[in-house]
Amino acid sequence: MTNGSTTEFYANSIEEQKKVIKVSVDTVGGAIPVIAGVSQAAARQTIRMAKYAEEAGADCAMLLPPYLMHTGKEGTYQYFKTVAEAVNIGIMVYNDPSKGGTLLPTDLVARLAKIENIVAYKDCTPDAGDYPFNALIDPEDMVLINGMDELYYVASAAYGARYRGFASEYANFAPRLSYDIYEAVEAENFKKAHEALKKLFPLWSFVGKVQSSRESISVLPVFLRASTPYISIGKTAMNLVGLRGGTYNREQLPLEELTDEEKKELKGVLEEIGII
């Protein structure tokens, strides 16, 4: 899964977005499905990206609802339907109110699931109380992925909302910890899942500390807000474990780099949880 919000598609040119898709497809070589983010501000541009993803060999195109000009249920339905009808690959509906400013209601998602090639749902609903309503979505129509990482994946499973997996920035540098949580939930061993979650608590505490140090001016309610430091933390953590998280330049704004003191503290956290 690439060209989503954590992979900073918004900061890349169209050509750079296309290169990410092509390199991903070529590197995977058919071993696993490739889900390529194609979100743009309007249907015409999104269709162009979705067609490119199809031509490049991606298996599925992931798209947010329109994220500049918001519309109602019918307009949103027609947007996804129009993009889906323009390609012959699968479509993943990406419900992330913190990025797109739209919280897709479950009845709309269930309706979208009836479109033949809309086959998956990345759900970043931040309110666990909404999870039981996913029962409205026929599992024969759509695969559900929890987009809110390990903690929400376990919570959703405890509610009986059985997502088939989850998206996680932590898995980029600590995949074993993430997979331990996945395996425990698949086995319905919630005690083991909670024990695995506890290993990540120091990291979540650090993320919260960094985010709270950067005052938000978003008009969205606090629980719906996106905060860029988690991306900076993920990139820095990848560098610290010997991967290529990348460097920073002013063209990546509004992404904020961690301070030297924060990088030092993050290194200590990763040592505490056994990543380095």
Give tens-digit pLDDT for 26-47.
Answer: 999 999 999 999 999 999 999 9
Q: Got the DSSP string for 198-213?
A: HTTHHHHHHHHHHHHT
Q: CA nearest 126: which of 103, 144, 94?
A: 103
Verify that 175 and 230 share a domain, yes or no: no
Tell me how many degrees the CA angle 266-230-79 measures, rounded to the nearest 5.
165
Verify that 44 and 129 share a domain, yes or no: yes
Q: What percent of the chain has pLDDT over 90?
A: 72
Facing residues of 92 across strands? 62, 120
Is residue 139 reached through a cis peptide bond, with omega within 30 degrees of 0 on the bond before it? no
Q: Which letter does DSSP use for residue 92 in this model?
A: E
Q: What is the CATH number of the domain that holds 180?
A: 3.20.20.70
Q: CA nearest 7: which of 235, 227, 173, 178?
A: 235
Helix axes 201-212, 260-272, angle to 10 degrees: 160
Verify that 76 and 171 share a domain, yes or no: yes
The number of domains in the chain is 2
- pLDDT score, position 217: 84
Contact between residue 265 and residue 21 where contact means Cβ atoms under 8 Å apart: no
Q: Is the pLDDT of residue 165 over 90?
A: yes
Domain's final residue, options 207, 228, 244: 207
Verify that 103 and 36 share a domain, yes or no: yes
What are residue 207's phi and psi, to 5 degrees?
Answer: -60, -45
Facing residues of 123 across strands? 95, 146
Tell me how many degrees the CA angle 208-210-215 measures, rounded to the nearest 5.
95
Verify that 98 and 183 share a domain, yes or no: yes
Q: CA nearest 226: which of 3, 67, 76?
A: 67
Helix (H) or strand (E) holding 47: helix 43-56
Assign 234 to helix, strand or coil: helix
For residue 3, tell me if it sits in a domain: no
Contact between residue 123 and residue 97 where contact means Cβ atoms under 8 Å apart: no
For residue 20, give both structure tokens.
Answer: 């990410």
Between CA 121 and CA 60 the distance in angstroms is: 11
Q: Is the pLDDT of residue 227 over 80?
A: no
Between CA 30 and CA 104 the distance in angstroms is: 32
Q: Which has the minimum average pLDDT: 45-59, 120-134, 212-226?
A: 212-226
Task: For residues 181-204, give the mean pLDDT.
Answer: 95
Q: Is 10 a known active-site residue?
A: no
- pLDDT score, position 221: 81
Q: Is 114 a known active-site residue?
A: no
For residue 192, tell me if it sits in a domain: yes
Verify that 82 and 188 share a domain, yes or no: yes
Q: Which candidate in 18, 99, 122, 235 is catalytic? A: 122
Q: What does the CA dihedral 34, 174, 93, 227 come to, rounded to 10 degrees? A: -130
The residue segments making up the domain with residue 60 are: 9-207
Q: Which candidate in 67, 94, 131, 163 is catalytic? A: 94
Verify that 157 and 219 share a domain, yes or no: no
Assign 258 to helix, strand or coil: coil
pTM for this entry: 0.93
| Residue 81 binned pLDDT confidence (cut-offs 50, 70, 90) | very high
Verify that 215 and 155 share a domain, yes or no: no
